[in-house]
Amino acid sequence: MQTRIALLRGVNVAQNMLKMERLRQLLQELGFKNVTTYLQSGNAVFQAEGSPSSVSTAIEKRLAGETRLPVTVLIRTPAELKSIIVRNPFLKEKGVDRSKLHVTFLADAGGKDALKKLSALNVGADQFRLSGKEVYLYCPNGYGISKLSNSGLERALAVKATTRNWNTVNKLCELASKSF
């Protein structure tokens, strides 16, 4: 079994409620082991057999009917999460407030013209860096008012996305790195 990190999009916002206790139960019913959740926003670390896409599909199917709206599930491995942390280009820049950093996880890389599409967005003071299946965000005025929201990025790139703040990304990496 391999360790996986599930990032659920749209859980516990806009009345699309799913208690983390129930999420743990559903993942265990799928045969996943050592299930741990983090926060109430749909983050889970567990061990499972199968490819990331098959694990994602299984969770999405199992969640059908559990929430008011469909839930997108993006899967990353501990190695991918470590790489995402190391590659954050904003960490090398002076004056960056780490509490304003976020990572948007994309279901796919978004195509060869993804950077062009993102560059066309009017993002004000916000900054982004595209790297594979992640978009690194620096939102100095706060993510809540950013045009670089999940919905904005999904529209621009035509892929599913979910965003986590920098603290959560690091905590999930820490949880996933612990040996089970």
Query: Residue 164 pLDDT more than 90?
Result: yes
> Which of 76, 96, 127 is the endpoint of a domain?
76
In this structure, are residues 43 and 11 in contact, taking their beta carbons and an 8 Å threshold? no
Rounded to a whole number of angstroms, the distance between the first and last alpha carbons of the chain is 11
Residue 53, classified by CB atoms within 10 Å of its CB into exposed (0-12), middle (13-18) or buried (19+), is exposed
CATH number of the domain within which 121 lies: 3.30.70
67-86: pLDDT as tens digits: 778 889 999 999 999 999 99
Give the pLDDT confidence score for residue 179 in this predicted structure.
Answer: 56
Q: Quote the radius of gyration of the chain (alpha carbons, Å).
A: 16
Residue 160 and residue 153 in contact, taking contact as beta carbons nearer than 8 Å: no
At 111 the pLDDT is: 78
pTM score over 0.85: yes
Residues 170 and 112 in one domain: yes
Supply the range of the domain harboring residue 101.
Answer: 82-176
Domain count, the chain: 2
